[in-house]
Amino acid sequence: MRISESLQIFFDEVGSTSRFVFRYFQELFNPRRHEYRQFIKQCYLIGYNSLPLIGITGFIMGLVLTIQLRPTLVEYGVEFKLPEMVGLSIVREIGPVISALIFAGKISSSMGAELGSMKVTEQIDAMEVSGTNPFKYLVVTRVLASTLMMPVLAVLSDAISLYGSYLGVNIREHTSLHLFFFQVFTILHFSDVLPALIKTFFFGFAIGIIGCYKGYNSSKGTEGVGRSANSAVVVSSLVVFIIDLIVVQITDVLGLN
């Protein structure tokens, strides 16, 4: 494939995605019939069902990070700084990004496969014929739920990661839970927590919109469904890193780092 053809495909995809996002906001702020029950259902399916996987990942991440950092800090004689370093690393960067990647792998692929199968079996067309707005029912509810659930899951993942770090600290020494979290929250400031929390909303929105876009525009039968699910995970994971890079640059310019 020539470079010109690749660029054309890329810009066509960007244009199509932009129109999809624009339609999402149109339907979101359209006062006609909001699907509240479907939205609550999606919050449960997206948030509650993702918590075990994100929680286990967060626990292992906090434990492993603590065990890996300890030898280096002991070498320089600052092992007492271990809770502060782990806490700052998890809350500011590692926790939100890893949680978003796990979220993308589970939710974005699920949305791509579910909506893709509905598209190729013409269930979406049947909803339009019956007078239901499939975009608002299927897309708006899922994207809004993923946007709101991602910050909640990131906060819970941070808490579980810090508890895993606490257990990691107590492998070699004894530290009370109160003292551990006192050290963690002593080093944390509002400027550390707020940017990390804000970017999780963008993570959730990007993951939801990409998963729905890939599934809603799926074609070519069952092969297209698999391709939609796979590309949804790849693209949403890449966009998570891009958003993280942009947020880091903005916070650096604003002097929040």
State which residues form the domain around 164: 34-253
Q: Does residue 14 fall inside a structural domain?
A: no
Task: Say if 10 falls within a structural domain.
Answer: no
pLDDT at 3 over 70: no
> Is residue 23 in a domain?
no
Establish if 176 belongs to a structural domain.
yes
Q: Work out the percent of the chain whose per-residue pLDDT is above 70.
A: 96
Residue 84, pLDDT > 80, answer: yes
Q: Domain count for the chain, please give it.
A: 1
Q: Which pLDDT does position 102 carry in this prediction?
A: 93
Q: What confidence tens digit (pLDDT) does each residue in 116-164 have?
A: 888 888 888 788 777 778 888 889 999 999 999 999 999 999 999 999 9
What average pLDDT does the segment 203-211 reach? 94
Query: Does any domain span residue 180?
Result: yes
- Looking at residue 59, what is its pLDDT? 94
Per-residue pLDDT averaged across 34-59, rounded?
89
**Whether pLDDT at 221 is above 80:** no
Average pLDDT on 159-183 reads 88
Report yes or no on 6 lying in a domain.
Answer: no
pLDDT at 1: 54
Q: What is the mean pLDDT of residues 227-235?
A: 88
- pLDDT category, 55, cuts 50, 70, 90? very high
Q: What is the pLDDT of residue 118?
A: 86
In angstroms, the CA 61 to CA 161 distance is 6
